[in-house]
């Protein structure tokens, strides 16, 4: 698990490789990632947008942006958490992701960026 904290918001990420959905002969490797967002700040916040960079070892970097996460814009009171699972596919079997959440403090409308820590997308047998 990797973790980062920005302005009192902690983001933790865990990943898994899914061989049953992957097809190495066709350069298709599937991963899931589990995200936990913890609001350890003094303010209620809302996740407005996300931005991802997906690095695939032998291919171009993909950038993905959009509103919320998995169709939601969760609001978190101080001390609350939001968890979700999503997925990604890459062609090489070795890659990484990182990004940002763009949050808003509801008390005053201040927007701020929260770092999503870099995490690896690596097929386990490729490291041997």
Residue whose structure tokens are 């959440």? 101
Give the pLDDT mean for 70-99.
Answer: 97
2-127, CATH topology level:
Immunoglobulin-like (2.60.40)
| Both structure tokens of 12 | 């933790």
pTM: 0.94
Cα–Cα distance, 108 to 88 (Å, whole number):
35
**Domain definitions of the chain by residue range:** 2-127
Give the pLDDT mean for 41-59.
Answer: 96
Question: What burial letters (b/e) apply to 71-87, b meaning 16+ CB within 10 Å?
Answer: eeebebeeeeeeeeeee
Q: In this model, does residue 70 exceed pLDDT 70?
A: yes
How many CA atoms are closer than 13 Å to the CA of 121, on its beta-carbon side? 27
Q: In this model, does residue 20 exceed pLDDT 90?
A: yes
Predicted pLDDT of residue 128: 66
If pLDDT is split at 50, 70 and 90, which confidence band does 127 have?
confident
The CA radius of gyration of the chain, in Å to the nearest whole number, is: 16
Cα–Cα distance, 119 to 11 (Å, whole number):
12
Q: Which of 108, 38, 40, 109 is nearest to 74 (CA)?
A: 38
Q: In this model, does residue 30 exceed pLDDT 90?
A: yes
Give the pLDDT mean for 68-72.
Answer: 94
Supply φ then ψ for residue 126, to 5 degrees: -75, -15
Determine contact, residues 29/93, Cβ cutoff 8 Å: yes
């Amino acid at each position: 698990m990797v973790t980062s904290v920005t302005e009192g918001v902690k983001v933790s990420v865990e990943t898994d490789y899914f061989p049953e959905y992957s097809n190495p002969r066709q350069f298709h490797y599937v991963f899931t990632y589990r995200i936990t967002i913890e609001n350890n700040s003094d303010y209620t916040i809302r996740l407005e947008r996300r931005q991802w960079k997906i690095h695939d070892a032998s291919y171009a970097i993909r950038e993905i942006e959009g509103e919320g996460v998995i169709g939601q814009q969760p609001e978190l009171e101080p001390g609350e958490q939001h968890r979700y699972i999503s997925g990604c596919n890459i062609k090489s079997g070795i890659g990484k992701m990182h990004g940002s959440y763009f949050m808003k403090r509801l008390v005053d409308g201040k927007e701020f960026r929260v770092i999503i820590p870099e995490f690896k997308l690596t097929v386990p047998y490729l490291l041997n």
